[in-house]
Chains A and B, each alone.
Chain A
Amino acid sequence: MARPSEPQRTKRVRYKQRRFSWWILLVPLLLSAAAYVIYLDIVVRHQFEGKRWALPARVYARPLELFVGKKLDTDAFVQELEGLRYRFVRDPRYPGEVARRGDVFVLASRPFMFWDGNQESQEVRVALEYGRVSAIHDLTSGKRKDVVRLDPELIGILYPSHHEDRLLVRLRDVPQRLTEMLVAMEDRDFYGHHGIAPRAIARAMLVNLRAGNVIQGGSTLTQQLVKNFFLSSERTLVRKFNEAVMAILLEIHYSKQEILQAYLNEVFLGQDGRRAIHGFGLASQYYFERALTELSLDRVALLVALVKGASYYDPRRHPERAKTRRDLVLKVAAEFGILSLREAKYAIDRPLGVVGRRPASANRQPAFLELVRNQLHRDYQDKDLTSEGLQIFTTLDPWVQESLERALSVQLPRLETQQSMVPGSLQGAVVVTSTEAGEVLALIGGREPRYAGFNRALDAARPVGSIVKPAIYLTALQHPEQFTLATLLDDVPLTVSSKYAKDWQPKNYDGEFHGKVALYQALARSYNVATVALGLRVGVSEVIDTLHRMGLTSSVEPYPSLLLGSLELPPIEVAQLYQTLASGGFRNPLRAIRAVVASDGTPLQRYPVSVQQAFEPEPVYLVNTALQAVIREGTGRGLGKFLSPDTNPAGKTGTTDGLRDSWFAGFSGDRLAVVWLGRDDNRPIGLTGSSGAMQVWGQFMAEAGIQPLELTPTPSIVYAWVDAESGLRSSAECPDVVQLPFILGSVPSESTKCSVTGKGLGGRSRWLKRAH
């Protein structure tokens, strides 16, 4: 037998070697391919499951509660409804629609998930009469309804850094025809394929070749979803390969329903300035101001049309393109039997139906939102705030805010002209709260409320001047055996020596000394000298203690100059102090938030009404009475031009050295407002508390509607007639007497006969009437 030739043997050996080496290469190749696929699998599953989309937090104003007897004028109601984007129609059928005939409104409120539970849509008829709600009827039952709460106005959205916005929808909440149209247009084999559709790719290639242009893509919905998981939009071959593999993997792990639902919430459908509109839920609101379930067929088709290119087919900027594509969607839908031909024709005939682009109503209240954020940051990190889809319910009252802005916009230019100031140089800040519960109703941080700049209401600590005085008087009046409203104080030249500073001689604003003045007068007229004397008698540290009890958090140096307000505070802290007075001695922490709710409706945090008695009611009653005297006869007299005397508000003017700051803090039956005016560069403005800030306060209260202030005296308060000059007990018939409240047991024991002073004509008597 001949041996195989050498070359053959080598060939066989070599072949064996080669095959062997083949395997050496193949196995690691396969292994690494497998590892890679496993890696992609992990990535795609992680993305899909961890895909709790970063949902921005939505911030809402207080909901409007309608009830019989509520003060509400027609214009204000219309304004609220417009702010809520209710559509005025002839025949309301859907939630969010309202019809108006004169003063009668018929509306269907939108269902809404409040912090205290889900509220269904309510169909009601509301009748207004003489500026009040006169009747409310439930249209379904025909019965009278006691109270109707409307859905609250959205006032802000707290975005994560990438500014994506969504309203999540569940597959079952999406109109079926929408998904059918979507599948027909974008991926007609969706239910059949396993992630990629080679047939679709082939079909697309053919169509594109024939057309000579790329008009059809071969990507499945699954692939598009995967593409959207990665924010960068590189279109490399490697990327496409990865996406294809991941699409297949996705289909292995998740059902068609899950993938479809994710897609419906992920797809990019529009750009609103910096805000990116993702998902059909939000797109429906953005383009049509309607919920997805309320959309007509033609509108549904338009949304589906946008999937291909939301910017290219933007119905507002390119209506013709949008309509053409929408009609194409409708035609395809008819072809596939999703719609009848008639439906399709009817829909094609309809105009686009897109609402005009409104400026984002959200974030019109940057100053208030900043306060909200500050309060939220105590409990939440910024990351949670902007990504968990929190629903934040606040205390903001849009009407009050509006009245306030109007008052400021009228008064500031007027005052600037009056003072020959450069227009735009006079700044202001205002805080408005509810007196009993301490809820912040409105906030202004600067003269341009839409602009998110320096928030003076929260951050501009300015000398408070005479605004501090009530704290001194409150300190004194807590000792009724020593001080009453009738106690005579010495408004005479005074030198204050202290170890902290050189001798100081306080002066009154009018430069005069008034001798003996009744305590309440010294406060009403804001006499500096008498006040300093009083403050020194009770002790500066006592006054500081009172300030802390009123809610002051900053620490204060015990200098006598504190007595004239050398303390620097932002308006929000002044509001906190006056809140304690307005509530009758209860220190309620000011709140801007009522509740925080998770995106699924679970309540996360409640900010309940909480009170803390800081003072006995009687001394506070006395101080408040004196603050009413400020308005009736003291430095706040000028309010008479805005408000009728029956309203009887309480307040205090505040002016600082050199007329650099103008303050007014005052409260009515239900609201407290603190106004500050001044310049950012701290130069004098030439305005006192009454000529400046009080003007804003007065106009605001007049416009917003003021509720009369009725202080409630406890049984320990008695009224007595007192002679104004001597502070001694007198009687009603005498001239120059005043009726004052006293704490039981502190009424002046000494009486005086009627003094004939000749001041009043025929026994004029003034009284501080117990308000009715």
Chain B
Amino acid sequence: MVEARTLKTSVGVWLLLGVLISWIAGCATRTPAPVTEYGKPVDNLIVPPPLGSTDQLPITVPKTAAVSALLQDARRKVLANNLEGAAQTLERALRIEPRNPLLWSELAHVRYQQEKLGQAEQLAVKSNSLAVEDVPLQIYNWRLIAGVRRRLGDSAAVGAAEQRIKELGVR
């Protein structure tokens, strides 16, 4: 059926992009180096917390080809440092699939990169509230939350977040 085919293709492309992004994110942990993509260096891009080499990719996939396409478009915009554009595209996607935790998580990362740390954390929390079965995504979100708390200097809260990550990692 058309939808299934589109879904499979989109999952494939998405996985590729996911690998690409995590590779980039992985590279970035060594030093806060500018992220390069398609030959373009991107300055002042605050890199989100990395997934880590042994972490799995999120399970959640878009239910519609439309959201797949918008998600890819948003990620392209992030890499092109068009953060506000990426946020708007993600909001557009959220109107189509409002309970997709992946979209909320990606929006959280965009806000993090825009230094809107308070919202970044809240959006990550929102993603978690919907990502019930998707443990890798929850870990990803908690890493982001820990990152925010670290930047805000709240060491107790950082500890709590890291504890959560540990607990989830055990599952």
Could you tell me which A residues sit within 8 Å of B by CB distance?
62, 65, 67-70, 115-117, 134-135, 144, 146-147, 149, 434-437, 584-586, 606, 608-613, 617, 669-670, 712-715
Contact between B68 and A146 (Cβ–Cβ < 8 Å)? yes
Q: How far is the CA of A610 from the CA of B122 in the complex (A)?
A: 8
Given known pairs A147-B66, A585-B129, A613-B122, the reply for A65 and B96 (CB within 8 Å) is: yes
Contact between B88 and A115 (Cβ–Cβ < 8 Å)? yes
Given known pairs A67-B96, A585-B129, the reply for A116 and B122 (CB within 8 Å) is: no
Q: How far is the CA of A238 from the CA of B140 in the complex (A)?
A: 78
Contact between B65 and A609 (Cβ–Cβ < 8 Å)? no
> In the complex, which residues of chain A have a beta carbon less than 8 angstroms from the beta carbon of B125?
611, 613
Contact between B2 and A116 (Cβ–Cβ < 8 Å)? no
Q: Closest CB-CB distance, B90 to chain A, in whole Å?
A: 9
Contact between A437 and B66 (Cβ–Cβ < 8 Å)? no
Contact between B2 and A134 (Cβ–Cβ < 8 Å)? yes
Q: How far is the CA of A609 from the CA of B89 in the complex (A)?
A: 12
Q: Closest CB-CB distance, A765 to chain B, in whole Å?
A: 26
The B80-118 residues at the A interface (CB cut-off 8 A) are: 84-85, 87-89, 91-92, 94-96, 98-99, 107
Contact between A68 and B126 (Cβ–Cβ < 8 Å)? no
Tell me the dominant secondary structure on chain A's binding face.
loop
Q: How far is the CA of A669 from the CA of B84 in the complex (A)?
A: 28
Known: A436-B94, A611-B122, A712-B129. 11 other contacts (CB 8 A): A65-B66, A67-B65, A68-B65, A69-B3, A435-B98, A437-B91, A584-B130, A609-B91, A613-B126, A617-B129, A712-B99
B22 interface contact, C-beta 8 A: no
Contact between A436 and B99 (Cβ–Cβ < 8 Å)? yes
Q: How far is the CA of A437 from the CA of B94 in the complex (A)?
A: 8
Q: How far is the CA of A68 from the CA of B5 in the complex (A)?
A: 12
The B114-157 residues at the A interface (CB cut-off 8 A) are: 119, 122-123, 125-126, 129-130, 132
B64 interface contact, C-beta 8 A: yes
B25 interface contact, C-beta 8 A: no
> In the complex, which residues of chain B have a beta carbon less than 8 angstroms from the beta carbon of A606?
84, 88
B61 interface contact, C-beta 8 A: no
B158 interface contact, C-beta 8 A: no
Q: Which residue of B lies closest to A149 (CB)?
A: B92
B70 interface contact, C-beta 8 A: yes
Q: List 12 A-B contacts (CB under 8 A).
A: A68-B2, A146-B66, A437-B95, A586-B126, A606-B88, A609-B107, A610-B122, A611-B123, A613-B122, A670-B98, A712-B132, A714-B132
Q: Closest CB-CB distance, B151 to chain A, in whole Å?
A: 19
Given known pairs A65-B66, A146-B65, A147-B70, the reply for A116 and B88 (CB within 8 Å) is: yes
Q: How far is the CA of A611 from the CA of B129 in the complex (A)?
A: 12
Q: How far is the CA of A302 from the CA of B132 in the complex (A)?
A: 64
B36 interface contact, C-beta 8 A: no
Q: Closest CB-CB distance, A586 to chain B, in whole Å?
A: 6
Contact between B85 and A116 (Cβ–Cβ < 8 Å)? yes
> In the complex, which residues of chain A have a beta carbon less than 8 angstroms from the beta carbon of B2?
68, 134-135
Which of A117, A669, A712 is packed against the most chain B CB atoms within 10 Å?
Answer: A712
Contact between A65 and B95 (Cβ–Cβ < 8 Å)? yes
B21 interface contact, C-beta 8 A: no
Given known pairs A115-B88, A146-B68, A712-B132, the reply for A609 and B94 (CB within 8 Å) is: yes
Q: Closest CB-CB distance, A585 to chain B, in whole Å?
A: 7
B69 interface contact, C-beta 8 A: yes
Contact between B6 and A437 (Cβ–Cβ < 8 Å)? no
> In the complex, which residues of chain B have a beta carbon less than 8 angstroms from the beta carbon of A610?
119, 122
> In the complex, which residues of chain A have a beta carbon less than 8 angstroms from the beta carbon of B84?
606
Q: How far is the CA of A713 from the CA of B129 in the complex (A)?
A: 8
Contact between A67 and B88 (Cβ–Cβ < 8 Å)? no
- One of B66, B94, B129 near A67 (C-beta < 8 A): B66
Contact between A437 and B98 (Cβ–Cβ < 8 Å)? yes
Q: How far is the CA of A714 from the CA of B138 in the complex (A)?
A: 11
Given known pairs A65-B92, A146-B65, A609-B107, the reply for A436 and B98 (CB within 8 Å) is: yes
> In the complex, which residues of chain B have a beta carbon less than 8 angstroms from the beta carbon of A669?
99
> In the complex, which residues of chain A have a beta carbon less than 8 angstroms from the beta carbon of B119?
610-611
